[in-house]
Structure 1
Amino acid sequence: MSLAESVAAVARRLSEVSQHSYQNPYTALDWPEQVDPEVDWFSSPELLSLAGTPQWDKLSEADHKRLAFYEAVNFYSLNIHGEKGLMAGLAERLYRKEMIQVADYLHHFLDEENKHSIFFGGFCTRYARVYRSRQFSVNEEEVPRDVGDFLFFAKTMIFEEIVDHYNWLQARDERLHPVARYINRNHHVEEARHLIFGRQLVTELWRTKDWDAQTVEDVRGYLAAFITSSWREYYNPDVYADAGLADPWEVAEAAWQSPAQREHRRTVTAKCLGFLATEKILPEEPVDAF
């Protein structure tokens, strides 16, 4: 099966933009020798996982900034792990007959994700560490190829929709350290293209699927679980431990359950869920996430 011409046309336009905006990630950013997590903001305080919770009110401003630093490290780590899987999946699909019409853009997609990892990894390895991932994945070898392709691109789109909300806001937050603003701004500009492509391709793969009812149910269940597990990683006990908070696992669970954070997750995910509902991919809200 070949992709619709509309998808191929979008891929060609995005390839041209990517080619014209090409950059060298090794010279684009001047890294400071060191940073001070208790002086500068590295994440917008309103976006932190403890914002609006009782725990937040117990912390000083220095505590808030230290937490913001380690949540930035976690955010960048999530992107590193997400992009490792994304790069592997894109490389696997290069020049498959089903994807031949968008192969040029997959090259740009892969190149840009690699550059993003250089920025994210550069921050984490210079100033902290890369946090481990607790995300789960589907074994694509155990499902038909068309199902595996759909899950791969749908999962990528969902992950990037959530990430881009943070990028968009933090790129504009003048309180943030210039390095943090640059990383978020750069990621948002290129992710915007990835999301245009992703929505087009996911729509096409869904509309042309030929699956039985059980497969559709399984796919929907997987995507709902993926949204929940993706959000869970924003409440990382390792972050709370590094930020000096006692009982980090209890802090993580309390934050996850708090009404303010439930509403935050619903707000950030609203655009993505709206798209999935419009295309009848995920007609119901994944209640475990909210």
Structure 2
Amino acid sequence: MVQHEIARRLLDSSEELSYDPVREVDWDTPLDTGLHGASPEWCTLYGTSYWAEMTPDQQRELTRQEAASVASTGIWFEMILQQMVLRDFYAKDPTDPAFQWALTEIADECRHSIMFARGAAKLGAPAYRPRRHVVELGRFFKTVASGEAAYAAILVAEEVLDVMQRDWMRDERVVPFVRTINNIHVVEESRHMKFAREETRERLRGAGLLRRQVNAFVVAVAAYHIVTSMVHDDVYANAGLDRDRALREAKANEHHRSMLRSSCAGLMEFLESCGLLTRPALWFYQRANLI
């Protein structure tokens, strides 16, 4: 469990710096279609021949659809996260700061999910959901995952989002309300990542080789499905593009692969330090372009 003093510091930080998206985000100003929904460099088609052929309006629309897709995937995983944390702390000592921090994180995630949902709607996007088999795998994972498998998977999802959103929130080409959403998420998720890292280390203390091998595999499979679900295949048609061509070029886009790998350098170092970067796990991380 997270050490008493670390949990206390996280609670203190939450009291000092937390946001109410209802008040902080400008929900009333109409969407400015002259701005992007995300930094163009993070677009799955950026740097391809198709991107070069697209009009500026098409490029901006695609970044808005992709930002909405990332937000929708974030909601899906935040719902998994909340259930795993609730199950982990069920019937534990409520006077423990770690217990109180767990509830604080769940409250944060509830606000984030509502914020992402409103943001996606304002971007003019439909509800993007992971593929059916991924939804069912997520249903199974949230029911059975525990200990380091649960917290390391939480960390993977949060770390990948954190790096890209830090870019988006500083980018003046991105529509202001999206920048505000990203800023809120980055600030509050930094505490969640600290919590997940400490829990992962604590749960692995004294773990044997077999346990590490099994959990390394489980976390890598979860990471693969989370990352490959971030941008839905339908974003291209919804942006007015040729879906089949866009999918082919996005799949072969080395620029986007490089962006993902760079965003995960610190995460991979952490997993390796915990003994969770095994050969079978590496195969999934490579398939997801995380390493």
Instruction: Sort the TM-score into its range (normalised by shorter chain).
Output: 0.7 to 0.9
2:35 paired with 1:40: yes
CA distance in 2, matches of 1:20, 1:81: 28
1:53-96 alpha-carbon deviations (Å, 9 max, x no partner): 22212212111101011011111111111111112222222344
CA distance in 2, matches of 1:55, 1:47: 15
CA distance in 2, matches of 1:67, 1:81: 21
- Show the counterpart of 2:4: 8
Aligned residues: 279
Q: Is residue 38–residue 168 contact of structure 2 (8 Å, CA) maintained in 1?
A: yes
How far residue 28 of structure 1 moved from its aligned partner, in angstroms, is 2.2
For 1:137, give the aligned amino acid: G
Structure 1 alignment gaps of length 5 or more: none
CA distance in 1, matches of 2:142, 2:73: 24
- Show the counterpart of 2:238: 242
Q: Is residue 273–residue 282 contact of structure 1 (8 Å, CA) maintained in 2?
A: yes
Given candidates 111, 128, 136, the residue that maps to 2:107 is 111
- Show the counterpart of 1:287: 286
2:131 paired with 1:131: no
For 1:207, give the aligned amino acid: R
For 2:154, give the aligned amino acid: T
- Show the counterpart of 1:173: 171
2:262 paired with 1:262: no
How far residue 11 of structure 1 moved from its aligned partner, in angstroms, is 1.0
2:214 paired with 1:218: yes
SS of 1:262's equivalent?
Answer: helix
1:176-205 alpha-carbon deviations (Å, 9 max, x no partner): 111011000010000111111111111111
- Show the counterpart of 2:193: 195
2:74 paired with 1:79: yes
CA distance in 1, matches of 2:142, 2:231: 30
1:82-116 alpha-carbon deviations (Å, 9 max, x no partner): 11111222222234449955101001101111111
How far residue 207 of structure 1 moved from its aligned partner, in angstroms, is 2.2
Q: Is residue 164–residue 188 contact of structure 1 (8 Å, CA) maintained in 2?
A: yes
Structure 2 alignment gaps of length 5 or more: none
Which protein has greater RCO, CA pairs closer than 8 Å, 6+ apart? 2
For 1:177, give the aligned amino acid: V
Percent sequence identity is: 26
Given candidates 92, 98, 112, the residue that maps to 1:102 is 98
**What RMSD over aligned residues (CA atoms) do the two structures have, in Å?**
2.3
How far residue 172 of structure 1 moved from its aligned partner, in angstroms, is 0.9
For 2:186, give the aligned amino acid: H
